[in-house]
Amino acid sequence: MIRRNVLFRALLGVGLLGMASYVSAAEIRIANQDVGTGQGLDDPTPASPVGGNPGTTRGEQARIVFQFAADLWGAVLQSEVPVTVSASFAKLACTANAGTLGSAGATYIFGFEDPAPAGALSNTWYHSALFDALAGEDAAPGAADIRARFNGALGSPGCLEGASWYFGLDGKQPAGSIDFLSVVLHEMAHGLGFSGFGSLTTGQPLAGLPDIYSTFVYDNSRQKSWYAMTPVERVASAVNDGHLVFTGDNVKAEAPLWLTPPLMLRISAPATAAGDYAINQAAFGPTASVDNFSGGIVAAVTGANAEGCTPFDNAAAVAGHLALVVRGTCAFTDKVDNAQRAGATGVIIANNQPGTIVPGGTPLNPVNIPVVSVSQADGNTLRANLIGLAGGLALGSSLAGADAAGNVQLYAPSVLAQGSSFSHYDTRLTPNALMEYAINSDLLSQFTVDLTPALFKDEGWKLNEDNQRLLRCDTGIPAFAPGGLIIGANVVANAKLLAGTAATLGEYRAAIHNYANELAMNGLLSKHQATRLGACLNPAKTRDQFNAWGLGAGRSASGNH
């Protein structure tokens, strides 16, 4: 799995008072820190347009993606105060097979004195952008609200070798490429509010005050909220895998709109082991499903252990069955290769220590059988009941990534991962979510940001839930819909991009028309919405749009008017 870390640089400020009577869609500005470096956002390397991105150099394409992400979040959020993101590329921590794609966080944090404005808490830390939106004024004029950096060494020797950035805007990155738009949206979200500020190693709140994100964190095994625990309890809770959740009402209400029931390993025999067991899918090989993962389960015998690190001694017994192996001294991919050679139809990897794992690695040979993992405790139960052991995958009765009460789980692996633990959704979420700690290739972030806006709303952000407007024209398409759809935001982001690159008004109108047809053909617009959007393409209205947004593809910022 590819790691993404969060970087915090908090400068403490004095709370402001006041609340404006009118709010508008947020304007997110990009402060390009790569200007003049010839790297990253300033990279002059020629590039062919790709995936709706018309840029002709790598730097231009990266800037376009960054601005597109800014326009998406700007269309979803409301604020009278512009948000500034300081953006650059640099070599971030990485090895040949894993590394940090990006890091971001609030450059300043602030707290409100008592009484706080409506919708805010006093004596509580807020990310700069959210604080400004609630206060109605800029608490740090001239300073960036968010600092974001991205890995400029990606794909070079020793750094995620074989990977590359994909600068398209359509989510159709080829194998081996990483969707830059999803990563930028993810990192911006950290700076907008998806992160806590306290220490996970000492359990101490920052400067002795709570932060708005962490006020919603709850440990459902201790039955305590984050700040009701002692520092020692918070340190333990940060690694309480599967038990740390976010309790915001909006996230909980929207969870059923995004999450689906999880796949479980359902053991049918013997009776002493019958029941449902939680699994994780491996990061390689075909996806395990109800259709391809069932049958008898046979434990591997490899010398004096069941680790599967050498050819199976009991290959004949394993053939045609699911192989049960124990995590141990060799790579997961080696275990699966040996199981596959023995004729297994699938593999169950039992952890050898508390917590859960996501089996990963780069197979030397093609993996043609599905692979899942179970916890150490569940693996011990299976190994204690091998006679007649059988089962398969089945849908559970709860939501994948939520606890029994419906609260969405946060990432709290049994070994603390600085920059990843606590400030992400858990990997159990199904479908995958934008704010999990690692990038997933199945995200379609140009159209949905799943449960992230709901979390922002719980923290106090106002969201644009009305129809998206192209200037003064109502498109009939919600900018944001509960469950995370951002079709209207995508409409305005594309309209700005097309206005900035079209040579004439006629070219702009034709491009928007083609774009609207594509959305309708893909079922993303209803017939009524397509008609309403078409009405926004009359000459007078598109002339206003073209004149307002036709600033060229290299524009440094654009707002949502």
Q: Read out DSSP for 491-529?
A: HHHHHHHHHHH-SSHHHHHHHHHHHHHHHHHTTSS-HHH
Phi, psi of 219 (to 5 degrees): -100, 110
Give the pLDDT means over successive 10-residue stretches in the chain (561 positions). 28 29 75 96 97 96 97 97 97 90 96 92 97 96 96 94 94 92 98 97 97 98 97 97 96 97 95 94 94 97 94 97 96 96 98 89 92 96 97 92 96 93 95 93 95 98 92 89 96 90 85 88 89 82 78 37 28
Tokens of 460: 């106090």
β-pairing, 371-374 vs 346-350, is parallel
pLDDT of residue 11: 34
Strand residues in 220-330 grouped as ranges (E): 224-225, 244-246, 263-269, 275-278, 280-281, 294-299, 322-326
Q: Please, which residues have CB within 8 angstroms of residue 491's CB and are 6 or more apart in sequence?
A: 468, 470, 475, 477, 519, 533
Supply the pLDDT for residue 552.
41
Which phi-psi region, left, alpha or beta, contains residue 450 (left: φ > 0; alpha: ψ -120 to 50)? left
Question: Which pTM was predicted?
Answer: 0.82
In this structure, how many other beta carbons lie within 10 angstroms of the beta carbon of residue 355? 16
Query: Taking Cα atoms as reference points, which of 162, 126, 155, 136 lies closest to residue 58?
Result: 155
Q: Give CA 93 to chain center in angstroms.
A: 19
In a 13 Å sphere around the CA of 13, the CA atoms on its Cβ side amount to 25
pLDDT of residue 12: 30
Please give the structure tokens belonging to residue 314.
């009991």
Per-residue pLDDT at 501: 85
Q: How far apart are CA 491 and CA 537, in angstroms?
A: 13
Say how far apart CA 23 and CA 133 lie, in whole Å.
Answer: 8
**Dist. CA 143–CA 261, nearest whole Å:** 44
The angle, 0 to 180 degrees and rounded to 10, between the axes of the packed helices 505-521 and 539-549 is: 100
Amino acid at 159: C
